[in-house]
A and B are shown apart, each in its own frame.
Chain A
Amino acid sequence: MKLKVTSLLVDDQEKALKFYTEILGFVKKTEVPLGDHKWLTVVSNEERDGIEVLLEPMAFAPAAAYQKALFDAGIPLMAFNVDNIQSEYERLEKLGVVFSMKPTTMGPVTIAVFNDTCGNNIQIVQL
């Protein structure tokens, strides 16, 4: 078995694709139409053969309750590593991204949490 894809539930796939590519800098990898929705994945620009993130449509009501509860508690659904968290934080903030936690050092890591505008909190991490 191999780790190939992991998924994030998003309220709108087109909006999510725009945010994850234009704001965060990921690159679209696969787009396959599947009825009302599509199989839509992005990868890191620096690791284009790396693990794909599936921007999965929110089409299952109980999952919406789970997603909202995590969101309201400020809990990140996924974390991405960055080389320099302070400059990434400043870059994203200038682009209008809203942070619920500014860069905070906790032992060996510095982390920050932002709203992906699609229903999730995302954490960035510098080791």
Chain B
Amino acid sequence: MTFYQQQVLKFKNELYPHESLCQQVVQAKRFMDSQLDNNLTLDAIAQEASVSKFHFIRLFKKLYGQTPHQYLILVRIAKAKQLLRTNNSIKDVCFAVGFDSTSSFTGLFKKITGSTPTVYKNRQNLRS
């Protein structure tokens, strides 16, 4: 067994002793990845992990270093970038990835990617 493998197993045992609980949170995260266009509630996500809402938030933060809400915004913006590369209007993309106002979508998009959806879309169109 390599030194690296020993370290991995050490972390696995010391930091993540409850493997099935971890897997429940991972499953909920993948659920979030796959359900972007729906208006996901934290209750529904926590239910996917079979734990209470508050316990879920705590576990998720421990595993991923961010809250489920922060994570959901990141995946929605990633999906929005994908959609903006095709010919969707900004308004359509905003609703398609689960935001209900274009101004909050635009603000978050800029905060996360560094440019507004319009600038991003124009740049992508120039490239292709």
A and B co-occur in one complex: yes
Q: Which residue of A lies closest to B6 (CB)?
A: A74
The reply to whether B4 and A108 contact each other, CB–CB distance below 8 Å, is: no
In the complex, B126 has a CB within 8 A of chain A: no
Task: Bin the interface of chain A by size.
Answer: 10 to 19
In the complex, A107 has a CB within 8 A of chain B: yes
What CA separation (Å) do A76 and B26 show in the bound complex?
24
Contact of B15 among A49, A107, A121 (CB under 8 A): A107
In the complex, A7 has a CB within 8 A of chain B: no
With A74-B2, A106-B11, A108-B64 given, is the CB distance from A49 to B16 under 8 Å?
Answer: no
With A107-B22, A108-B25, A108-B29 given, is the CB distance from A101 to B63 under 8 Å?
Answer: no
What CA separation (Å) do A49 and B128 show in the bound complex?
11
Q: Which residue of B lies closest to A123 (CB)?
A: B4
The reply to whether A111 and B26 contact each other, CB–CB distance below 8 Å, is: no
- What chain B residues lie within 8 Å of A75 (beta carbons)? 2-4
The reply to whether A105 and B3 contact each other, CB–CB distance below 8 Å, is: no
Residues of B at the A interface (CB closer than 8 Å) are 2-5, 8-9, 11-12, 15-16, 19, 22-23, 25-26, 29, 63-64, 127
Residues of A at the B interface (CB closer than 8 Å) are 49, 73-76, 100-101, 104-108, 111, 113, 121, 127
